[in-house]
Amino acid sequence: MTDKQAYFHSLYGSNDDPYALRTRWYEQRKRALLLAALPQPRYASAYEPGCGAAELTVALAERCDRLLAADFSPDAVRIARQRTAGLAQVEVARHRLPDDWPAATAAFDLIVLSEVGYFLDTAAMPRLLAACRASLRPGGTLVACDWRPDFEERAQSTDGLHAALDSLGLARIASHEESDFLLKVWCDDPRSVAEREGIR
């Protein structure tokens, strides 16, 4: 992703919310759908690479005991640290995927890949997939949520990315598809939320 440095600097260098995450209904609604799709009310340890301006990070923090958020862009990392300054459970780091995946960190109960995977080329995908699988605790949750229309900086399609994540062998427990974005949730505990709560 080193070739994307200028692109991300053009986004975050002079704007602390270049995608209007705080103000666009599209973004607010998508974030709410992602949060509602999580099968557990709370997670002990979560990882969110590609956190950007950290609006999703702030929302995830309400449901996580510990949340490691990261981004490739130093500008985004600066903004994310400012946005989460009052959240003791959140750590923000600069990570370039897949090289800087926190393999030495304790495994995660939740991994959120939101609007980040399609920046990785196909050569990087096997390492990303392996990192996700190796870092996910038993019973843990993996989420991907991605924009579907094409754009110049995209390295692969959203549908291709999600098909690759489907190959991890985890149970897909939720899927939401629109022309704008695709949201999927996987877990190695295949039970539905109702089954987990003994309703069925």
Is residue 6's pLDDT more than 60? yes
Alpha helices in 38-184 (DSSP H): 55-61, 74-83, 125-135, 158-166
User: Total domain count for the chain?
Assistant: 1
% of the chain with per-residue pLDDT over 70: 96
Domain containing 107: what range?
Answer: 2-196
Task: Count the neighbouring beta carbons within 10 Å of the beta carbon of residue 24.
Answer: 12
Is residue 27's pLDDT more than 60? yes
Confidence of residue 16 (pLDDT cuts 50, 70, 90): confident
| CA 50 to mean position of chain CA atoms | 7
Confidence of residue 10 (pLDDT cuts 50, 70, 90): confident
pTM of structure: 0.93
CATH code: domain of residue 162: 3.40.50.150
Higher pLDDT, 133 or 106: 133
Task: Count the neighbouring beta carbons within 10 Å of the beta carbon of residue 167.
Answer: 9
How far are the Cα atoms of 60, 112, 183 from residue 178, in angstroms, in the given order? 23, 19, 9
What local confidence, expressed as pLDDT, does residue 2 receive?
A: 45
As a whole number, mean pLDDT of residues 117-144 equals: 95
As a whole number, mean pLDDT of residues 161-175 equals: 97
Which of 128, 107, 127 lies closest to 49 in space, CA to CA? 128
Q: List, in order, residues 6 or more apart from 183 with CB less than 8 Å away.
A: 30, 33, 34, 37, 143, 144, 145, 174, 175, 176, 177
| Mean pLDDT across the chain | 93
How far are the Cα atoms of 16, 104, 168 from residue 165, in angstroms, in the given order? 30, 22, 6
Q: H helices then E strands: how many in the chain?
A: 7, 7
As a whole number, mean pLDDT of residues 26-45 equals: 97
Is residue 175's pLDDT more than 90? yes
